[in-house]
Amino acid sequence: MTIDIETFESTPADELRELSNPERVLRFLVTNDDKAFKAAEIADRTGVAKNSISTVLSRLAERDLVRHKGDYWAIGDEERLRSFSQYRRATERLNDRYGREDADEWREYAPETRHPNADDE
């Protein structure tokens, strides 16, 4: 995926790593914040697989990072997007400093929970 020269010049090297699918979509929509696109076009323009784009867009919409109307998608609320971006950067800095969390280790110490629909015995 190509990036514009302004992004290249202003973005720190660690942020120019291979982007995740949601990051690709958000970057594309932020760059084109004056337009709305069909999912297939977003897939084509971002390199996200067409069979994955609906899931990516739906998850971003659940977080209010993108908007959806009819067949079209656009970037979401600017303040919400800024908040998400700050959270992501903070998480990456903590991961760099202390290492990534191990989900299996968390599960080992997590309290046992029951599924709400589980039958009582």
Mean pLDDT (the chain) is 81
Contact between 22 and 58 under an 8 Å Cβ cutoff? The reply is: no
Domains in the chain, start-ordered, CATH in brackets?
20-81 (1.10.10.10)
Higher pLDDT, 7 or 86: 7
Residue 50 has pLDDT above 80, yes or no: yes
pLDDT > 90: what percent of the chain? Answer: 36
pLDDT tens-digit series, residues 51-71: 999 999 999 999 888 999 999
Contact between 65 and 81 under an 8 Å Cβ cutoff? The reply is: yes
